[in-house]
Amino acid sequence: MSELRHNPITRQWVIVAENRGARPQDLVVQQVIQDTAHCPFCEGHEEGTPGEVLALRSPESRANECGWRVRVVPNKYPAVGAASPQADSSSAGFERDDITVLPGLGVHEIIIESPRHLTTVTQLSVAQFAEVLTVYRDRLAALRNSGQFSNAVVFKNSGAGGGATLAHLHSQLVALCADRSIYADRSPALRESGDCPLCATIETDSQRLVTKSEHFLAFCPFASRFAYETWIIPRQHLPRFEETASEILPELARLLRAVLVKLEATVKSSAYNYIIHTAPFDTTGANHYHWHIEILPRLSNLAGFELGTGCFINTVSPEHAAAALRDH
């Protein structure tokens, strides 16, 4: 028996249909090709990427040379183009018949998360992962403070099933100059819902709780789109990830890493995406927003029903998913 569930934050419907989980060909088995000799993200191959915009590196080392721990470079193949300093939101779009057209202005950066050729973040120590989260925070803060961008998203594609094309551990950051959010912005839903649905989750969702720490909580959403989908939220209602205090980033790194370790042990795969949703930069009063990290395991391909309807079929109920994750 299946059940339709609605997520008020993503505004998407989900069909929880656990019987479909028994289908024999449900798993995506794909390998990312590993070629360390030519990997542009390995230490010593810095010339293989555009010049770094930020790096955590030893004091005696020099930019774009060895000696770094985390390195941020522009994407060689960006999804959005170089932001022009002259660009402003008033000239950024125009109406043509019923179609709105916006220039693809923004930045697309790669965060290389280890000088070694590691392939999943669970291979990082908590301290190393905390440095990665610090770089996410600091790049988001710098782009927001530049005043050129309206919104940004940090995301990781892990494994071939998660859309990764290079195996070497990395995440991406896309910031846009568009005068509106063109991706799944949670802002309108959170603004219009009155009481924050994520704060309500903290009060009521113990059945779907995966783990928690002093400042953070991990849970499987009631209307999870993906099997074992897990969200991490601050227990306090805070709008901006980029304002996270340095003292609690190691705690967040420990929790996020622990969830990913549980996930990899439960589903025997490191194919997933995680996405950091923070309040849009151009929102002056962002008090409606509750930042969150979504972890979306990619155990099966999106297929015609999902693409055709925007509604997802989930073959593991979030109650069973949370119980399995808690046990690992």
The residues of the shown chain that bind Zn ion, judged by CB under 5 A, are 39, 41-42, 117, 168, 196, 198-199, 237, 290
Nearer to Zn ion, 17 or 118 (CB): 118
Do residues 15 and 316 touch, judged by C-beta distance below 8 A?
no
Measured from the CB of residue 239, what is the shortest distance to Zn ion in angstroms? 9
Measured from the CB of residue 214, what is the shortest distance to Zn ion in angstroms? 17
Measured from the CB of residue 156, what is the shortest distance to Zn ion in angstroms? 16
Phi-psi region of 309 (alpha: psi -120 to 50; beta: other; left: phi over 0): alpha
Which residues have a Cβ under 8 Å from the Cβ of 67 and sit 6 or more positions away? 57, 58, 60, 61
Nearer to Zn ion, 2 or 36 (CB): 36
Nearer to Zn ion, 276 or 313 (CB): 276
Distance CA 118, CA 265 (A): 18
Backbone angles phi, psi at 30, to 5 degrees: -135, 150
Measured from the CB of residue 84, what is the shortest distance to Zn ion in angstroms? 33
Distance CA 30, CA 160 (A): 6
Measured from the CB of residue 71, what is the shortest distance to Zn ion in angstroms? 12
Comparing CA positions, the residue from 130, 172, 143, 134 lying closest to residue 274 is 172
Nearer to Zn ion, 160 or 196 (CB): 196
Measured from the CB of residue 44, what is the shortest distance to Zn ion in angstroms? 10
Strand partners, 157: 273
The amino acid that residue 96 corresponds to is R
Nearer to Zn ion, 196 or 209 (CB): 196
Count the neighbouring beta carbons within 10 Å of the beta carbon of residue 294. 23
Measured from the CB of residue 324, what is the shortest distance to Zn ion in angstroms? 27
Nearer to Zn ion, 139 or 170 (CB): 170
Nearer to Zn ion, 88 or 192 (CB): 192
Classified as helix, coil or strand, 88 is coil
Structure tokens at 235: 């227990």
Count the neighbouring beta carbons within 10 Å of the beta carbon of residue 181. 18
Structure tokens at 148: 């050129």
Distance CA 275, CA 278 (A): 10
Q: Which alpha helices (DSSP H) does the chain contain, by range?
A: 126-145, 187-192, 197-204, 249-267, 304-309, 318-327
How many residues in the chain?
328
Measured from the CB of residue 115, what is the shortest distance to Zn ion in angstroms? 9
Nearer to Zn ion, 42 or 126 (CB): 42
Nearer to Zn ion, 176 or 220 (CB): 220
Rg for the chain, CA atoms, rounded: 20
Distance CA 234, CA 23 (A): 36
